[in-house]
Amino acid sequence: MKVNFGGNPVELEGRVLHLGDKLENFSGVKNDLSTFNLSDLKGRKLILAVPSLDTPVCDFEVRRFNEEATKISDVSVVVVSMDLPFAQARWCGAAGVENVLTVSDFRERDFAQKSGTYLSGIGLLARALFLLDEENRVTYLEYVDEVTAHPNYNAALEAARS
């Protein structure tokens, strides 16, 4: 699958997901350098894949989901990027983001490979949204065609509310 990054086509690496697919358990690194495992989260999950929290679109996206999606009682919001855990913690502190869990995929690219979001040759994640049910089956997804563009916030939030 290809997406555009700044207008240039980039091939995505890994297993591209489709509705009904199960996202395999993946691990990453939390801000305190402990290990995150998807299997540790119970219930529904909204996973945001973003290139870098220090970019305007990512900043806006995470702030919006921090404000809106975390008000949905049975949904946990996880933001995955290649940012180092220290940078994620700094950004969250500066942005006042406390309701989402940020996870770094820098070490093993486990999430990137299992979600088909790795931007080949760039070393970042594509912008994508995945809503998972209690069994980690994909009930909503969006691979944003242009990585530097915003996702469809309303559609993702509506899916999370239903």
Domains of the chain: 2-161 (3.40.30.10)
Q: How far apart are CA 150 and CA 127, in angstroms?
A: 8
pLDDT at residue number 73: 85
pLDDT band at 147 (very low <50, low <70, confident <90, very high): very high
Average pLDDT, the chain: 95
Question: Tens of pLDDT along 59-114?
Answer: 999 999 999 987 888 899 999 999 999 999 999 999 999 889 999 999 999 999 99
DSSP 96-145: T--SSEEEE-TTT-HHHHHHT-EETTT-SBPPEEEEE-TT-BEEEEEE-S
Give me the active site residues, please.
58
pLDDT band at 131 (very low <50, low <70, confident <90, very high): very high
CA-wise closest residue to 15 among 152, 133, 130? 130
Which of 24-33, 62-71, 124-133 has the lowest average pLDDT? Answer: 62-71
Contacts of 140 (CB under 8 A, 6+ apart): 19, 129, 130, 131, 155, 156, 159, 160
Q: What percent of the chain has pLDDT over 70?
A: 100
